[in-house]
Structure 1
Amino acid sequence: MRLFTVIAVCATFLGVPQAASATAPADCYDRAAPVTYEEGRIETPALPGGTRVPYELVEAGGFGAYPDRLRAELCRVRTSAAAERVLRRHGARLWETAVARAQGRITMGTIDRYDDRPLYWTRLMGTRDLRQWQPRFPLDDAGRAALLRTYEYASRGVSSTTFGPGVKRVLVSGFDPYQLNGEIRRSNPSGASALQLDGLTYGDGAQSVRVQAVMLPVTWSGFDAGIVEDAFGPHLTAGAREPADLIMTISQGNRGVMNIEQWAGAWRGGSPDNNNEGEAELIPPAPGWPQPSPTPEFIETTLPYGAMIDAGTGPWPTALNPRLCEWAAGTRPTGPVQCRTDGPSPGSQAQSGGGGDYLSNESMYRSNRLRLELGRTGLPGGHLHISALVYPANPLVVINDAFSADRAATVDQTVALVRAAGAAA
C-alpha cells in the first residue's frame, strides 16, 4: 500500500511556482481576525503519527507556493482596483492550472491527477488570507466581500465559461469536498469530474461539442448569494452570446450507482454545510435574477436520460431515480411526509427531490428554476448523482492505490455520461 502515487514534476506552467516564495510580511495580515468555520479547518491538527492533511494535500498537489505568492502580492497593492486585478489573475491561474493538471496536460506534485483536494485547500487558504488581510487603503466589509467574490468566481471557473463559435455548448457543475468534520481526507468525485470536463471538446457527427465546468461551494450562504444562477444564467438569458445547449449539475450520491434525478424539490432541509450552518426553509430567490411566481414545488429533469442509460458506461449502473417526498397541501413542515415514485400529487408541497434536500438538490432546482423562468423550457437540464468514494481504512493514509483507482473509474464514467448527454442534446 503506497501513500502516494508518484508523478513527474514539470518546472512551470501558466506561471506555476515549484518552490515556495518568500513569506509575506507579517504586518500585512491580522491572524486574530475572524475566518469562516470552513477556513478554520485548514489548521486541523494532525492525528498522532500523521500529518496536517490540508497542508499535505496542497504540497502533494504541487500548489505549495500559491498561497505565499498571493499573500506577498496582496501586501504590495495600494488600491482596491489593483487588488481586484491581482485576485482575478491569481484565481484564474489557480483554476487553469488545476484543470491542466487534472487533464494531464502538465505534471506536478506527487499525487494522482484526479485529486480535486489540492485545489480546494489552496483556494481556501486564499480566502482565509484575504479575510485577514490588512491593506494599505481603506476597505469596508462590502469591498472585502466583493474582492472575495472576484477570487472565488475566478478560482471556481465561474468567470471563464467561454465556449467559442461553432460548437454545441454543455455547461456542468461539480462540488467542493464536504462533511469534513468527520473525515478531513474527503475528496468529491463531482469536483474531480468538473476538472476533467472543463474545456473538453469532442465530435458529435458533423458537430463538435464543448463542455465548460464550474465548481460550486458546499455553503448555503454561497447559494443564497446566487453563485448557481451567476454560473448558469449568462448562458440561459434571451440573446445570450453563447447560449447553452444542455446544463447539468453533478454531485456525489450513494455508493455504487449513478442516478439521474427525475425531480428537484423547492425545500432545503438545512443540514449543516461546510460552515456548519443550515436552516430548514424554502429555497430563497437569487439576487439579481428573475424568479417564477409562484415558485414551482418540483421541477422535472429534461436531460436525455435514455441516451445516458443506453450509453452502457461503467463500472456503476446508471438509472433514472423517480423518487420524491412531499407534504400534503398546507402541511409543510410539520405534517406527515409521503415518498413516491409516480410523480408529485396535485397540490402537494415539496419535502425533497430524488437527490434529497441538501445542496445537490438545490443546485438542480436553482439552475432549472432559472432555466424555466428565462423561457428555456425545451433545454435539456437536470442533475446527476455519482457514486460515493470509500476512504482508506487506516486514517493516517491520505490516499492509496485502491482509492485512486476507485475515484478515477467513477470520474471517467461521469465524463462518459456527460459526453453521451451532450451528443444526444
Structure 2
Amino acid sequence: MRLLPVLAVCATLLSVPQAASAAAPPACLDRGAAVTYEESRIETPAPPGGTRVPYHLVDVGGFGPYVAALQRDLCRVSSAESARRLLEQHGTRLWQTAVARAQGRIRMGTIDRYDDRPLYWSRLMGTRDIRQWRPRFPLGEADRTALLRTYEYAARGVAHTSFSDGVRRVLVSGFDPYQLNGEIRRSNPSGASALQLDGLTYRDGDETVRVRSVVLPVTWSGFDAGIVEDAFGPHLSPGAREPADLIMTISQGNRGVMVVEQWAGAWRGGFPDNNNEGEAELIPPAPRWPQPSPTPEFIETTLPHQAMTGAGTGPWPTTLNPRICEWPAGTRPSGPVQCHGNGPSPGGQAQAGGGGNYLSNESMYRANRLRRELGATGVPGGHLHISALVYPSDPLVVIDDAFAADRAATVDQTVALVRAAGAAA
C-alpha cells in the first residue's frame, strides 16, 4: 500500500489552516508520519465559504468523542497486547454505536440516522491515528499492521458476525464511500444499508431470519489481504458452528434501478480505488483460505432473484442483469472484448461481470469463489447493485432534505430486498 505524508495530497492542503475540530493531537501522535492516500483525505480543505467535510461529518454525527477517546487511550497503552485489546474494544464500540444510531436505538448528532459517512470518517481517523502513533514500547511494522487489522475488522463488523441458534442466517456486505477525489461529500447507500441490516430479525412463517452485515473497504489492497474471505469464510466452512443460509454482497450501482447481477468475472479492471491505486489483472487468491485451481472465469449467482424481482419493492425497479464482457479464448488482455447477455462462451476469458470489473464485482466473485471451494454449493449467493445517490447541487451543502430522503428510500428498498431473499432462501 502506498503511503504518503499526511499533508502531501495536494499543494492546496498546505495553505489551509486546520479547522477548530481538527485540534492539535496528543503528544504520542506524530502528524508528520506517513499515512495512506485515503487517510490523507481527512485534511481536505473547505471550499470557500464551506466546511471541512470529514471533520464536519464526524462532529454532526456525534462521533467526535469517539475519535478523541481513541487518541487519548493510545497514549496510555503500555504494551502491544494491551493495545490489541484496546483497539478491539474501540473498534467494536464504534461499529455497535454506528449500528444503534442508524437503527434509531440511540440518538446522536444532528444529521439523519441513515448517514453512513460519520462512521467512515471516524474509522479513517482511527486508522490514521494508529499509523501515526508512537508508543512508549517497541512496535514493529508487522505488529502495527496486525493492530490496524484488529481495529478495522472490529469497526467494520467483520469481527461481529455471530448468530443466535435456531435462526436462518443471512450474511451481507456493503461498501465505504468512494470516488472522493471528485466529491468529498460522498455517501454509499450500500454501507448505509449494512448499518440498517446488522442484527435485523424477522419471521418467515414458523422460522426466524436473522441478518448480519459488514462494511468492506474500497481498496484493492484490502481485498488482496483477504477481508472478503475473512468476513464470509467462517460461515461457509465445512462444520461451521453458524453456517450461513444465504450470502449477498451489495454495492452502489447505476441511478434509479436495483440490479441482481447474474455473473461475476475473474478480472479486475484496475480503476483507481480509495488509495488511488489500481492495476488490471486477474483477481488474486486470498491468503488463509483454500482457492480453486484453475480459478473460474465467471461465477453465476444463486440468489433467489425471482423472489427479489417479484417482491414489489420500490421506489426503483428491480431486475436481473445477464450481461458479461469477455475476451475470446486465449486473447486476454489484448484481444477484442465482446459484451453480451448470453452467458460465458466456451473458453471465453472474463473481462467484466454484469456489474463491471471494479470492487463490487470482485466482492461477489471472491465471496462465491470461496463458497464453492468450501463446498457450500447449497448456500445461495450473489450480488445486488442498488441505486446511486444524487448530491445537493450547491457544493457548500453537505446534506439536505432531498438527499436524505433519496438515500433513505434506497436503503429501505435494499433492506426489503434482503428480507425477500432471506425469506426465499
Calculate the TM-score normalised by the size of structure 1.
0.94
Amino acid of the structure 2 residue aligned with 1:151: Y
Amino acid of the structure 1 residue aligned with 2:235: H
**Contact 2:26/2:75 (8 A) holds in 1:** no
**Contact 1:24/1:75 (8 A) holds in 2:** no
**Contact 2:303/2:380 (8 A) holds in 1:** yes
Distance 2:393 2:362 in 1: 32
Alignment-derived partner of residue 211 in structure 1 = 211
Distance 1:269 1:346 in 2: 22
Distance 2:93 2:65 in 1: 13
Alignment-derived partner of residue 194 in structure 1 = 194
Q: Deviations over 1:162-185 (max 9, x none)?
A: 111000000000000000000000
Amino acid of the structure 1 residue aligned with 2:50: G
SS in 1 for 2:260: strand
Structure 1: any 5+ residue segments left out of the alignment? 1-19
Compute the displacement of 1:27 (Å).
2.6
Distance 1:247 1:364 in 2: 9
Q: Deviations over 1:346-392 (max 9, x none)?
A: 00000000010000000000000000000111210000000000000
Compute the displacement of 1:66 (Å).
1.0
Q: What pairs with 1:101-180 in structure 2 (closer than 5 Å)? A: 101-180=101-180
Alignment-derived partner of residue 7 in structure 1 = none
Distance 1:24 1:232 in 2: 39
- Does residue 43 of structure 1 match 2:63? no
Alignment-derived partner of residue 53 in structure 2 = 53
SS in 2 for 1:146: helix
Alignment-derived partner of residue 415 in structure 1 = 415
- Does residue 359 of structure 1 match 2:359? yes
- Does residue 224 of structure 1 match 2:224? yes
**Contact 1:326/1:348 (8 A) holds in 2:** yes
Alignment-derived partner of residue 84 in structure 1 = 84
Distance 2:77 2:129 in 1: 14
Compute the displacement of 1:30 (Å).
1.2
- Does residue 234 of structure 1 match 2:234? yes
**Contact 2:267/2:350 (8 A) holds in 1:** yes
Q: Deviations over 1:94-151 (max 9, x none)?
A: 0000000000001110000000000000000000000000001100110000000000
**Contact 1:24/1:72 (8 A) holds in 2:** no
SS in 1 for 2:35: coil
SS in 1 for 2:69: helix
Amino acid of the structure 2 residue aligned with 1:77: V
Amino acid of the structure 2 residue aligned with 1:189: P
Distance 2:24 2:239 in 1: 45
Compute the displacement of 1:24 (Å).
8.5
Amino acid of the structure 1 residue aligned with 2:172: V
Amino acid of the structure 2 residue aligned with 1:310: G
**Contact 1:24/1:68 (8 A) holds in 2:** no
Distance 1:309 1:25 in 2: 50
SS in 1 for 2:299: strand
Distance 1:310 1:317 in 2: 10
Q: For the aligned residues, what is the CA RMSD? A: 1.3
Alignment-derived partner of residue 277 in structure 2 = 277
SS in 1 for 2:75: helix
Q: Which runs of 4+ in 1 moved over 4 A?
A: none
Amino acid of the structure 2 residue aligned with 1:117: R
Compute the displacement of 1:269 (Å).
0.2
Alignment-derived partner of residue 391 in structure 2 = 391
Compute the displacement of 1:51 (Å).
0.4
**Contact 2:26/2:71 (8 A) holds in 1:** no
Distance 2:242 2:306 in 1: 26
Compute the displacement of 1:65 (Å).
1.0
Distance 2:64 2:376 in 1: 43
Structure 2: any 5+ residue segments left out of the alignment? 1-19
Alignment-derived partner of residue 400 in structure 1 = 400
Q: Deviations over 1:257-303 (max 9, x none)?
A: 00000000000000000000000000000001000111000000000
Identity over aligned pairs, percent: 80
Distance 2:27 2:212 in 1: 40
Q: Deviations over 1:182-219 (max 9, x none)?
A: 00000000000000000000000000000000000000
Distance 2:246 2:161 in 1: 13
SS in 2 for 1:65: helix
Compute the displacement of 1:26 (Å).
3.5
SS in 1 for 2:27: helix
**Contact 2:26/2:72 (8 A) holds in 1:** no
Distance 2:423 2:229 in 1: 25
Calculate the TM-score normalised by the size of structure 2.
0.94
Q: Number of residue pairs matched?
A: 406
Compute the displacement of 1:251 (Å).
0.1
SS in 2 for 1:234: helix
Distance 1:120 1:351 in 2: 31
Q: What pairs with 1:259-278 in structure 2 (closer than 5 Å)? A: 259-278=259-278
- Does residue 326 of structure 1 match 2:326? yes
